[in-house]
Amino acid sequence: MAIRRGRGVAAVNYPTGMNLGGDPSQALVHSTPTGNFMVTLSSVDLGQGLKQVMAQICAETIGVPTERVIIDTADTDTGPHCMGTFASRGTHRIGNAIIQAAREARHVMLEVAAEALEVNATDLDTDGEGNIHVKGAPQRSISIFDTALTAHFKLGLSISGRGMFLVPRSYPETETGAMKPSTCYAHACTVADVEVDDETGEVTVTSVKNVFEIGRALNPRMVEQQLVGGSWMGISHALYETTEPYYPSREHGGTDFNEYLTPGPGDLAETETIVLERPATDGPYGAKGPGEMAANPQIPAIANAIFDAVGVRVDTLPITPERILRALKQQRAAH
Asked if 190 and 119 sit in the same domain, the reply is: no
Total-model pTM: 0.89
Contacts 24+ apart (CB under 8 A), 110-118: 112/147, 112/150, 112/151, 112/155, 112/157, 112/159, 113/142, 113/147, 113/150, 115/150, 115/155, 116/142, 116/146, 116/147, 116/150, 117/141, 117/142
* Whether residue 189 sits in one domain with residue 150: no
Out of 109, 140, 167, a domain closes at 167
All residue ranges of the chain with pLDDT < 50 are none
Comparing CA positions, the residue from 155, 41, 163 lying closest to residue 109 is: 155
The residue among 215, 177, 166 whose CA lies nearest residue 19 is: 166
Asked if 140 and 191 sit in the same domain, the reply is no
Q: Concatenated DSSP letters for 258-285?
A: TTS----GGGPPEEEEEEE----TTSGG
How far are the Cα atoms of 22, 50, 168, 279 from residue 96, in angstroms, in the given order? 13, 13, 14, 14
Report the pLDDT value the prediction gives residue 285, as an integer from 0 to 100. 96
Q: For residue 145, what pLDDT is reported?
A: 97
Share above pLDDT 90 across residues of the chain, in percent, rounded to a whole number: 71
For 238-274, how does the pLDDT look when each residue is reduced to its tens digit (9 = 90+)? 999 887 666 667 777 777 778 788 888 888 899 999 9
Are the C-beta atoms of 238 and 303 separated by less than 8 Å? yes
220 in the same domain as 145 = no
Residues in the chain: 335
Give the sign of the dihedral formed by CA 30, CA 32, CA 38, CA 42: negative
Cα separation values, 270 from 44, 119, 221, 240, Å: 32, 59, 19, 18
End-to-end CA distance of the chain: 17
| DSSP-based three-state secondary structure for 91 | helix
Same domain, 286 and 230: yes
What is the extent of the structural domain holding 63?
Answer: 23-167
In a domain, 292, yes or no: yes
Using alpha carbons, list the distances in angstroms from residue 47 to 196, 222, 226. 34, 11, 10
What was the pLDDT predicted at 23? Answer: 85
Strands 160-165 and 3-15: unpaired
How distant, in Å, are the alpha carbons of 78, 135, 147, 228, 286 from that of 32? Answer: 19, 25, 11, 38, 29
Distance CA 162, CA 294 (A): 32
CB atoms within 10 A of CB 92: 28
Report in angstroms the alpha-carbon separations of 317 from 12, 127, 311. 18, 53, 17
Does one domain contain both 54 and 154?
Answer: yes
161 and 221 inside one domain: no
**187 shares its domain with 330:** yes
DSSP state of 177: -
Q: Residue 152 corresponds to which amino acid?
A: H
Question: Based on the domain organization, do 229 and 128 belong to the same domain?
Answer: no
88-123 confidence digits (pLDDT tens): 888 999 999 999 999 999 999 999 999 999 999 999
Q: Looking at residue 291, what is its pLDDT?
A: 85
* Gap between the Cα atoms of 30 and 36, Å rounded: 8
Q: How many structural domains does the chain have?
A: 2
74 and 90 both lie in a single domain: yes
Residues 163 and 214 in one domain: no
Predicted pLDDT of residue 306? 98
Out of 140, 167, 194, pick the residue that ends a domain.
Answer: 167
Q: Which residues contact 55 (CB under 8 A, 6 or more apart)?
A: 39, 66, 69, 70, 71
